[in-house]
Structure 1
């Protein structure tokens, strides 16, 4: 439960209308005085954040750090976000009716990036929040700068990239179908906008990852992880955790997926099995091709970003499904 005095301190700060650097130091003492952070203390921090006060810069460091400590570092096993805690976080973020302010989104992304595994819906929630902000021009931005409705700027591309390649949700590895759907919705909604060039590349590679890279792999469940936690953390393992491993993997396209396994001798057997699965999934299947044809044809327009996606698939896939041939012919 929240420590004695914390609730009164938060109430006083809300009345005061600001949180100074000294206040942040005091909050740290309240929260970390016993080397643990509780859900009740996290709720107190959300209450303070939702008051929309004038905050010292150090507040933007404390808030995501504390939420991450609650949901990731103090979890059992450490690093695995439970279904209940994911529900708690989504409830806290949406409690004030404003979906993912700058600080709240930082907290959600901090949890996703630090966790070894989290419920897929938490990552989907973050992705949808960013997409909604881009379309509406309201909500979370990385820097707090104003958004232009219906335009994807470089800052929003990086936010989307952070959500997509966070090392925990969406089964920890491949882009999920739900996430690919969100990206298509976002692409359709901004087709006539002057989007950042980096959006086209992210869209193509992320959707291609869903279609081609690892559509069949599932990481260890929480129950299995209880017995294998030492294996996941042993020296010489994945540098930077699973998130760092897969961010490096994705950075080189499908070829990078294979290359990164060759660097991990301690995981050679596991890597070989996963590489074989990647090779099998690299071919776009009939179901995947049908989904892509229907998704691209939904608004009756073949967008430039969709053309970029098709070119990427044509370059990377060893075998193009016949259902995609009419689309491939359109891009020349």
Structure 2
């Protein structure tokens, strides 16, 4: 159970209506005094956050940091967010019946950016929260901002970019079908709006990423990493183990991916054997992907500017245009 004093402290702060700078320092001592953060302590923090108090600025640093430590650094294998813990996080956010707040969205982003791998459901939750906020004009991205419902601002484009390329969720840099669907829904809902110019570029490149994703960046499965905890403890430590694996992948481009997999134990080393063929194959838009894109673009019967930009980008980047896309390509010229 959570420390009784922490729950009592949270209750007192709620009754007082504020969390001061001194309170944040006290909270840090409660939480990190034993060098570990529990789910119960996380629930106490959510209770404080849901109370809609007056908060010191440092609260907005402590809250995502502590929740991130619970989900990313405390559970084994470290860096891998389980389905259960992702469900706990979204359950805490939605428990009060209100839309996701900016503080809660920042917390989800913190988890996604710190994790090596997280369930796709968590990234989809964050992306949907931003889309809902844009369309409704309230929620995670609208606090304190004079923004029109149904209009995507520059700030919201950057938040969407952070969610999509957080480095976790569905295959790291790869955009999943579920994420692509949310982006198309958001584009359809704001098509006549005076959106930030950066939205068109993000939309077209993200959808093209989904269609031509380089899945070689996918990290090892959580179960594989859990079964190889001894890998982290080999001579040379973290640098030679899982940490070195990810560092090579991120810093070395395609050659770094090959090197990371080549140095890793089986079955990860075997993953690198098909890498070059997989990268080349994924650059080609398949029949299934082409059919999906034709159906999505044709839902409202109009070819919009962002969709034209998407088709132009695909035409320039893909080595082989599927015949099913040719009629759309002809319209986009």
Cα deviation, residue 261, structure 1:
1.4
* 1:168 alignment counterpart: 168
- Asked if structure 1 preserves the Cα contact closer than 8 Å seen for 2:216 and 2:275, the reply is no
Measured after TM superposition, the shift of residue 217 of structure 1 is 7.7
Equivalent residue runs for 1:69-148 within 5 Å? 69-141=69-141, 144-148=144-148
The match for 1:297 is 298
Return 229-238 or 60-69, whichever deviates more. 229-238
Q: Secondary structure at the match of 1:85?
A: helix
**Structure 2 CA distance for partners of 1:264 and 1:325, relative to 1, 3 Å:** closer
- Cα deviation for residue 167 of structure 1 reads 1.3
Aligned to 1:226: 226
Is contact 1:261–1:271 with CA below 8 Å preserved after alignment? no
Q: Which moved more, 1:180-189 or 1:81-90?
A: 81-90
Deviations along 1:36-85, one digit per CA (max 9) or x if unpaired, are 11111100100100111111110000000000000000011001111111
| TM-score, length of structure 1 as denominator length | 0.89
Aligned to 1:331: 332
Distance in 2 separating the partners of 1:95 and 1:143 = 20
C-alpha distance in 2, partners of 1:97/1:291? 34
Give the structure 2 partner of residue 27 of structure 1.
27
**In structure 2, what is the equivalent of residue 254 of structure 1?**
none
Partners of 2:39 and 2:144 lie apart in 1 by 27
Alpha-carbon distance, 1:275 to partner:
3.6
Distance 2:166 2:148 in 1: 25
- Separation of aligned partners in 2, 1:175 and 1:264: 18
Deviations 1:219-274 (A, max 9, x none): 422211124454795355444x97xx3xx8xxxxxxxxxx8113567337466743
Where 2:109 maps in the other structure, the secondary structure is helix
Cα RMSD (Å): 2.2
Note the residue ranges of structure 2 that are not aligned, 5 or more in a row.
Answer: 263-270
| 1:325/1:215 CA distance change after superposition, 3 Å | farther
Unaligned runs of 5+ in 1: 249-258
The residue aligned with 1:267 is 260
Contact 1:138–1:147 (8 Å) recurs in 2: no
Give 1:313's aligned residue: 314
Residue 153 of structure 2 corresponds to 153
Question: 2:268 maps to which residue?
Answer: none
- Cα distance 1:272–1:147, how it changes in 2: closer, same or farther (>3 A)? farther
Q: 1:202, CA displacement in angstroms?
A: 0.7
Residues 4-13 or 271-280, more deviating: 271-280
Contact in 2 for aligned 1:262/1:268 (Cα 8 Å) = no
The alignment partner of 1:97 has SS state of: coil
| 1:64–1:268 CA distance, 2 compared to 1 (3 A) | closer
Q: Is the 8 A contact 2:172 2:217 kept in 1?
A: no
TM-superposed deviation, 1:146: 4.1
* Structure 1 equivalent of residue 58 of structure 2: 58
